Amino acid sequence: MSTTIPTAPPRQLGPRRITLLVALAVFAQESMWNFYDSQVPPLLRDHLASAALVGFIMGMDNLLGIFIQPWMANRSDRTRTCWGRRMPYLAVGMPIAALLFVTLPHTADSLPLLIVVIVAFALVSNSFKPIGEALVPDFIAPERRSRANAAVKIASSLTVIVAALVSILLVDDHPTLAFALIALITLVSVTVLCLSIRDSSSPGYQAAVAEDAAEESTSVGQARIRDTIWEIVRDTDRSRLLLIVAILVFGSAWAGSRALVTPYGMETLGLSRGDAGGLTLPSGVAFLLAAYPTALFAERFGRLRTMIAGMAIFAAAMVLGTLVQTPTGTVVAFCIGAAGASAFLVNAVVVLWNLAPSARVFGTYAALYAVGWQSGAFLGPALIGGAVDILGWQTMLLDIAVVAAIAVVIVVRIDRLQRRGDVERAV
């Protein structure tokens, strides 16, 4: 897109309003993804007997996201329009994704057509997934980003409840209407965003334009994705590289604790499939209650310290669950663990944003966080599952604790690097 600097920027949005608007965008995106994850597998099962094949198709969006999200986020970083660098992509991508989402149940009778729509939806939805979140560092000052991201995470978590309610109330009798309702939420959300946000007025966009002008160039080719990654790898301060590794490792522990909880409850606690699947429900509430307080703790005591404490609490909770292997003990352990994990989930991407060398790469850094987390979500269940194959289901929570402890060590190392270098950053 062309480089066009607005001569009269629109009125600035306050931090609370922009936080609510970004949370609305994420809420719309994640509502589609959560409903997609719960209701597309039955559509595939009507054609495919193999659960592994269904799982492969459903996991394909994570694999696509690893490649698409950094590239598209970098494209948005390099975009200059009178509307900004994020909104053009959201204004186009979200309605197309909603249209494809509505189409899904109507293609259920034909497996080839259904797969085509699934792939198209995954491509489009992944293309703008990190772009909306990048509005947070664009608009919000570094010292307040944790509480803004906490609100975004709360909105994302609430979508699980919304998807479940729509499934319960509509799917059995009106399946196509259920998909249409979720798509409508997305369309209403993007309409509100388009009418409310012009991110060309954001401090992040203005800083990026100022950097472009300082380099006396109308091109922002220096901010290409491979250049950003190579700069992180070559940097003698390993903080950013180690943080991405920590995101992957802790993401593996978190994903393992979620993906394998049902068979764990059945094999270790003697629960039915339904009861075992409900073990993590109270922990979802615990996460919602803890998200905003952990943001406030981070602003007062430091983000890295808060992350370390929260990750340690998560690991300790998994050890507790190993020692008290009862349904009640497991639920308590998951609640404590989710509250601790919120400290990492709320603050990790904020630390990464605040370590960025320039406002021109906020979107790319949001995508690098997503790549690290999705890679962990892909590897974690397999890693923990492999440990279970060797050691048995009784030690699964302890296996998760070990992986989480490795992530704690990595973040402790980052904290020491920051203190040793006396880097004046809000991390």
Q: What pLDDT, on the 0 to 100 scale, is given for residue 339?
A: 94
DSSP string, 50-104: -HHHHHHHHHHHHHHHHHHHHHHHHHHHT---TT-SSHHHHHHHHHHHHHHHHHG
Strand ranges, E, within 151-298:
none
The mean pLDDT of 3-31, rounded to a whole number, is 69
Predicted TM-score (pTM) above 0.75: yes
Q: What is the pLDDT of residues 26-55, one digit of tens each?
A: 888 888 887 887 778 788 878 877 666 776
Question: 311: pLDDT confidence band, cut at 50, 70 and 90?
Answer: very high
**Residue reference for tokens 């309610």:** 165
- pLDDT above 80 (res 202): yes
Closest CA to 220 of 77, 318, 84: 77
Contact between 137 and 18 under an 8 Å Cβ cutoff? The reply is no
For 43-57, 111-125, 179-193, 230-244, which range has the lowest pLDDT when averaged over its residues? 43-57
Q: What pLDDT, on the 0 to 100 scale, is given for residue 427?
A: 57
Closest CA to 114 of 62, 43, 32, 38: 43
Closest CA to 276 of 288, 290, 259: 259
Q: What is the pLDDT of residues 133-169, one digit of tens each?
A: 888 888 888 888 888 888 888 888 787 777 767 777 7
Q: What is the mean pLDDT of the chain?
A: 84
Q: What pLDDT, on the 0 to 100 scale, is given for residue 422?
A: 55
- pLDDT above 50 (res 5): no
The mean pLDDT of 175-181, rounded to a whole number, is 87
Q: What is the pLDDT of residues 94-144, one digit of tens each?
A: 999 999 999 999 998 889 999 999 999 989 988 888 888 888 888 888 888
Q: Which residue has the higher pLDDT, 46 or 411?
A: 411
